[in-house]
Amino acid sequence: MIWLMQGNSGTTGDPGVPGTTGPPGHTGPRGRPGERPMSECQLTTYIRDNCACSQGRALCPAYPTELVFALDMSQTVEPARFQAMRSSLLSLLEHVTIAESNCPTGARVAVVSYSDKVKYLIRFQDYQRKKDLLEAIRGIALERTSNRRYLGAAMRYVGRHVFKRTRQALTMRKVAVFFTNGPSEDNSAIVTAAMEFKALNIAPAIIATKSAVDAQQAFEADDTGSFIYVLMNRPQENQKLLDKINHCVICYDHCRPDSQCRFTDAQLPQEVDMDLALVMDGSREIQADQYAGFQELLGSVVKQVALSPRPNAADGQARVALLQTGGSHLQVEFDLQKHSDHNKLEIDLKNMRQHGGVLFLGRTLEYLVNEVLLKAQRPRKSRVVLAVVGAE
């Protein structure tokens, strides 16, 4: 008989060679949006209440501000009227803190004059001491001219060029105050400028020494009431009107608004059962700054609409498509199914490049209706086309 006996275990062997890395796993579900413990105003108030440098002080401006004044020097402006404008400008700056560096605090001030064109008098970077700035403003003289008044063109120039290089800060404000001595030659341009100011987040005010109904009506179209027009034709009330400009425009604090500033908060994006098709003119007639203004304007329009979180589904919420035209080329920048997020849509808008060529608006609209809107899957109840073009 043979007995089989189990021997002792051997020693542990050396570790093996590591295996190759496995393929990535499936993407997990999207997480919930983060929640801010404080709103912007709550955080601002907390800092003001707990920072020794700001306790008990009412700052003007309340936030870092780029401030532009435009003086009317058209043919109807007489020396006495101009002196009144200049005195009002100095009065508005009396309690304004001037930025002494490029740090995001206080106000930087620029001054331009206008008639049928705009002329720089003081640039943002010229003065960092308030005393020197005020002295320079006192030295501004009326330039007599036979040119007429084009307020709308001046407003658009300020929005596109004077505010082109501003300091960078999360709470930076852009404010423009225009003096005018009466009606303008370009009524429709004032309306266009007001729309561009809204898109560019510029807070405007118009101070009229003679009635300017065209400007008044253009500003009354703003549904928030934050575009301010005042007529200074009663000396006993002029200081009160300037105080309103100061409290509600230059020094305005949206976290702690003055009681006389009865503005309506910007409405939240509206939920609309709509397919919105945008057309943007990228033809050669459009200047580079005008093209950038179109991008800002369309971005402002889209912000007013709540985008569908599921653009491929029939959920009764808005979808947006954008087509750029120029020459023989029609470019669908994004279709109705692409975007469910405003931030990503705005990135696409900002990254667009102008095509050039000749505008063929009729063919563009025909393509947009037949190929984009009518062929869209799960169409919405309403179909809307908005075209922004530079041609007459």
Phi-psi region of 350 (alpha: psi -120 to 50; beta: other; left: phi over 0): alpha
Per-residue pLDDT reduced to its tens digit, 344-361: 888 888 888 888 877 778
pLDDT of residue 20: 86
3-state secondary structure of 384: strand
% of the chain beyond a pLDDT of 90: 35
User: What is the C-alpha separation between 54 and 59, in angstroms, rounded?
Assistant: 8
Task: State the average pLDDT for the chain.
Answer: 86
pLDDT of residue 130: 95
How far CA 385 is from CA of 95, 110, 278, 313, 365, in Å, comes to 47, 39, 6, 21, 8
3-state secondary structure of 34: coil
CB 249 within 8 A of CB 261: no
Per-residue pLDDT reduced to its tens digit, 214-239: 899 888 877 677 789 999 988 888 99
User: What is the C-alpha separation between 215 and 182, in angstroms, rounded?
Assistant: 9
Of 210, 218, 212, the closest CA to residue 183 belongs to: 212
Q: What residues form DSSP beta bridges with 120?
A: 112
Query: Higher confidence at residue 5 or residue 387?
Result: 387
pLDDT for residue 90 is more than 90 = yes
pLDDT for residue 28 is more than 80 = no
pLDDT of residue 84: 95
* Angle, vertex CA 304, rays to CA 325 and CA 362, nearest 5: 25
Query: Of 28-42, 85-99, 294-308, 356-370, which range is least confident?
Result: 28-42
For residue 173, what pLDDT band results from cuts at 50, 70 and 90? very high
> Average pLDDT, stretch 144-151?
94
Per-residue pLDDT reduced to its tens digit, 93-128: 999 999 988 778 899 999 999 999 999 999 999 999
**Residue whose structure tokens are 């729309």:** 195
User: What is the C-alpha separation between 247 and 249, in angstroms, rounded?
Assistant: 6
For residue 34, what pLDDT band results from cuts at 50, 70 and 90? low
How far CA 155 is from CA of 152, 176, 189, 203, 295, in Å, comes to 5, 8, 9, 12, 18
pLDDT for residue 56 is more than 70 = no
pLDDT of residue 392: 54
Q: Model pTM greater than 0.95?
A: no
- Ordered by where they begin, the domains of the chain are 65-250 (3.40.50.410), 274-388 (3.40.50.410)
pLDDT for residue 334 is more than 70 = yes
pLDDT of residue 88: 96
Q: What amino acid occupies position 256?
A: R
Query: Of 121-130, 147-156, 272-281, which range is least confident?
Result: 272-281
Query: Of 179-183, 312-316, 358-362, which range is least confident?
Result: 358-362
Task: List phi, psi (to 5°) of 389.
Answer: -130, 155
CB 252 within 8 A of CB 62: yes
